[in-house]
Structure 1
Amino acid sequence: EGAKAMVIINPNNPLGSVYSEKNLAEVVALCAEHDVPIFYDGSYDQLILQGKKVDFRKIAKDKVPFIYGSSLSKDFSYPGARIGWVTFHGERWSEVKNAFFLLCNQRLSVNWEYQRAAAAALVDPSYPAYIRDMKKKLLERRDTFVKMADKLPLSFPVPKGAFYAFIKIETKKWKKDIEFVRAALREGVVFVPGSGFGRQEDGVYFRTTFLPEPEIIEAAFSRIKRIL
């Protein structure tokens, strides 16, 4: 009630969930029923480790107004690149487009050399092979992460896409996520407090990634075991 728009991140950050075609179709139908536009973040859609990649644009086309966005920084492990793109679908976006193009013309925008390099990278013949290799490495690291986490009093949905995990601490030792994160930092392991993603009233959560190499993931969990 009173919603102005729906935001969908697929694969999801911070959970690593991947929404099925049925899930997305149901959301589109709900938004269409209540005349709610959708902002769709597809920044991780090349990084689906389990499940089928779904083209949201085909599901939502002519059913509901939506903006589709993606980014170079995740596919190429290039955080901070600040290179991305959006496409506008349906009516009611004229004012948003004007504001968006005004923003793009500010001096804070990325320079044209980076933009040309990004466009070239996306059409390079080696790009599909690069993505396959990246997903293979991520899957190996995800499996190592899950194996190590399962040995500790932690619970979380197994990530099926992107490279994040959102973890609940299943002990009574920690009452606040920030205290746990600070204790982990003293052990040399960096996490993000779960409260940064919204209020967590049913427990203590933190977000992390499985981007490091398997041996580093194993070492990190060995350290975390000492404070759990």
Structure 2
Amino acid sequence: MHMTRTRAVKKMTTALGIALTACGGNGSGKESGAPEEGATKSESSKATPAARVEWSPALTMGQPAPGLYEPKNSEGGKFQVTATKIVKGTRKQLEEGHYVDADRNLEGGTPYYVYVTYTLKEGKPSVVNSDLNAQAVVLDENGEPAAERPVIHSGFDEGGCPVDKVYMSWDIGEQRTMCSIYIAKANAKQPARLAWSADATTADDYKKGASWGWTTR
């Protein structure tokens, strides 16, 4: 009778051990390491977010951009590029220039007259009177457009951009200042930079390139 009870206890102990193992126990009261390994693997497999591109140091108005640039629309010639000033216009100018008539979304917007100076340093442009300001953009702190040039972008409004001169050629060392109007819509974010690039296509491209801190007169 004593031997039978002993065997029964052993069988119960063995069964209990099997049950604990099946439930994830290891006999010590601690959970099995398998779930922890699974969690670690899951965490490590998460995609690392792309690093945010910060703005390059801002140039000040009148300070030339580093390096020389060859705009595509000049078809030759390398220029030193310098943003010289930004003049904040008025809503009256916006209306008198008939920009609102052409685009009602500009109602309550703000015009800016942007002046950029170009000095020919190397080569010879094939297009003498090219629109070099086509490479200038007004961006907010995130590198997104904060003001845009309208389709009719002369800006030759009263008190705005002066009428462009017509040139017959470019000479090495010659310097010309071009003015264009940019218009910020009423709900647009505040401009942070005036950037200039011959080939940038994304916000990050512009952030890495030459840009001037936004200051107006």
TM-score, scaled relative to structure 1: 0.18
Greater per-residue strand proportion: 2
Greater per-residue helix proportion: 1
| CA radius of gyration, larger in | 2
TM-score, scaled relative to structure 2: 0.18
